[in-house]
Amino acid sequence: MQIRINLFKKMIWIFLFCNLTSITHAQTDTEFPKGFIMYGKLHSGLVTNFSSPDLFIGGIQLAPQYTVVPHLLRIGAIAGGFYSSKKIQGEFGPSVSLKLKTFNAKLEGATVGSIANINLLIDHLWGTNKQRQIGAGIILDTGNIITIGITTHRDYNLNTWLFQSEIGIRLTKKHKNPVI
C-alpha cells in the first residue's frame, strides 16, 4: 500500500511539472504585474559604421523599471558601464518595455499562470564620451528571473551602429504569497 502511495505521489509531481511547462498562448495575462522590478544585465556586441574596422563593446547595466500599465507597459531607467575603444565608459538613460506576448502554462487545457514573455525594449542612452544612442531590442523574459535578448542602437552623434546581445538576471526580491 505504501509503495502504491509513493508511486502515486511521484506520478502526480511528474505530471504537474511536465504539464506546467507546456507553453501555450496567453488567455489570462500574468506577465508585467504591477510593481517594481530591477534586472542586472551583461551585454556585448560590436560598434560599426560599416566602413572602418568594427569595435568590440561589452558592459554591465542596472535596469530598474516600474509597471505603469499592468500586463502591458513598464517604464524605467538604465545605468551602466561598458568597455569599448580601449576605454571604460559610462551610460545612462530612460527605458520603456512593451510586452508583446505572454506564454501561459496549462494543465489539462486550463491556464495555471504564465511561464515567460517577449517584450520590446526601447531606450535612449547618453554616454560619457559624447554617445547619443537610441535603440530597441527584443527580450525574452523567462520566469521573471532570466532575460535574454538582442538589441540594436543608433548613435546619431558619433554616426555608428551598435549590435549587441544581452543576458539579465532579476535583482529585486520575489513577491511571495502572503501567509494567511
Partner 1 sequence: MKRALVISGGGSKGAFAVGVLKQLFHIFPNLDFDIFVGSSAGSLVVSLAALNQMDTLSEIYSTISNDNLFIEGNIVDKLGDTSLFDVTPAWNLIQNKYPDQAYDQLQASGKKVFLTTVCLQTNELNVFTNDALSIKPGNYKVVQTLDANHYRRALLASCCEPVFMQPIQIARNVAGAAHPEYQYVDGGVLKYVGIEMAIDAGATEIFTILLSPDKSTLVKDQFTNLMSILGETVDILTSSVGKTDVAITDQYAAALKYIDDVKTKMKMAGIDENDIKNYFTLPTANIFQDKEPIKIFKIRPDDYLGGGPGGLTFDPSEMQGMMAKGITAFNQFAANLPSGDVTWV
Report the interface residues with partner 1, using CB under 8 A.
Answer: 8, 11-12, 14-16, 18-20, 28, 30-31, 33, 105, 107-116, 142-145, 174-180
Nearer to partner 1, 71 or 154 (CB): 71
Look at residue 178 and give its three-state secondary structure: coil
Nearer to partner 1, 46 or 146 (CB): 146
Q: What is the DSSP string of 145-163?
A: TEEEEEEEEEETTTTEEEE
CB of 143 to partner 1, least distance (A): 3
Note whether 26 and 94 are within 8 A (CB). no
CB of 68 to partner 1, least distance (A): 19
CB of 133 to partner 1, least distance (A): 31
Nearer to partner 1, 14 or 171 (CB): 14
Find residue 37's DSSP bridge partners: 65
Note whether 62 and 79 are within 8 A (CB). yes
Question: Alpha-carbon distance 140 to 13, whole Å?
Answer: 27
